């Protein structure tokens, strides 16, 4: 038997690059029996289905163009219809700007969900974000992440498979600063939007992963 609307929460995760949105969304979803859905997952799943919507998404992706907001929102709504016994859905990577946030709430209000129940903003100071992003290295073979300072192993080779470690171009210092500039320009209005609606929950994104997860779980549980 499907859960009633009152038992189901639509949660948006907000946070700058390096704040740990993806890691926390996955951990919180598992702990709270929710579905973690990133915009990338939506696009990939739609393309794999090969239906009419998926073909539209594929056409945009093949051209290197952004998938229009209305298509992304349509995919979110379709996913909500398939929620089964999950107790909520966590949207990771959408909405990214004010127009998307407003469009999402407008679409939700036309159905049984009304709007986003809680927007979790994982707050991390900019110097820490820069440190996290600019010190991140990956193994070319197994994609295991490492820190330049050696806290997770040597920088020269992967401790798991011996593969070469490299730094993604978008983790270089100059690019990191630009990414953060774009994020704060586009997302600060989204944070203010949810604050004005009384649905924003700001969570300290510093400390151990488990501690941050516990803070987020509490914030979601405390929301109306």
Residues belonging to the active site: 21, 96, 136, 168, 179
Residue recorded with tokens 């401790």 = 159
Residue recorded with tokens 């966590």 = 90
> d(Cα 38, Cα 16) in Å, to the nearest integer?
15
Residues 6+ apart with CB under 8 A from 120: 11, 12, 13, 14, 201, 203, 216, 219, 220
Q: Is the separation of the CB atoms in 54 and 46 below 8 Å?
A: yes
Residues 6+ apart with CB under 8 A from 198: none
> d(Cα 59, Cα 63) in Å, to the nearest integer?
6
Q: Nearest 5 degrees, angle CA 82-CA 41-CA 43? A: 95
Write the DSSP string, 92-158.
ES---SHHHHHHHHHHHHTTTS-S-SEEEEEE--HHHHHHHHHTEEEETTT--EEETTSTTS-SSB-
């Amino acid at each position: 038997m499907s859960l009633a609307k009152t038992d189901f929460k639509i949660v948006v995760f907000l946070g700058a690059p390096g704040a740990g949105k993806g890691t926390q969304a996955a951990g919180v979803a598992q702990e709270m029996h929710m579905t973690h859905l990133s915009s990338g997952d939506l696009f990939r799943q739609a393309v794999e289905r090969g239906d009419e919507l998926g073909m539209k998404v594929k056409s945009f992706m093949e051209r290197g163009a952004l998938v229009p907001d209305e298509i992304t929102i349509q995919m979110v709504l379709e996913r909500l219809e398939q929620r089964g016994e999950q107790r909520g859905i966590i949207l990771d990577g959408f909405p990214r700007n004010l127009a998307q946030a407003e469009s999402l709430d407008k679409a939700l209000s036309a159905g049984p969900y009304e709007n986003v129940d809680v927007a979790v903003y994982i707050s991390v100071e900019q110097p820490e974000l820069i440190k996290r992003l600019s010190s991140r290295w990956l193994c070319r073979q197994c994609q295991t992440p490492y820190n330049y300072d050696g806290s997770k192993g040597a920088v020269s080779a992967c401790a798991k498979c011996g593969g070469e470690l490299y730094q993604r171009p978008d983790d270089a210092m100059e690019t990191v600063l630009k990414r953060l500039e774009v994020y704060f320009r586009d997302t600060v209005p989204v944070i203010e939007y949810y604050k004005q609606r009384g649905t924003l929950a700001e969570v300290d994104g510093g400390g151990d992963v488990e501690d941050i997860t516990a803070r987020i779980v509490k914030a979601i549980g405390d929301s109306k």
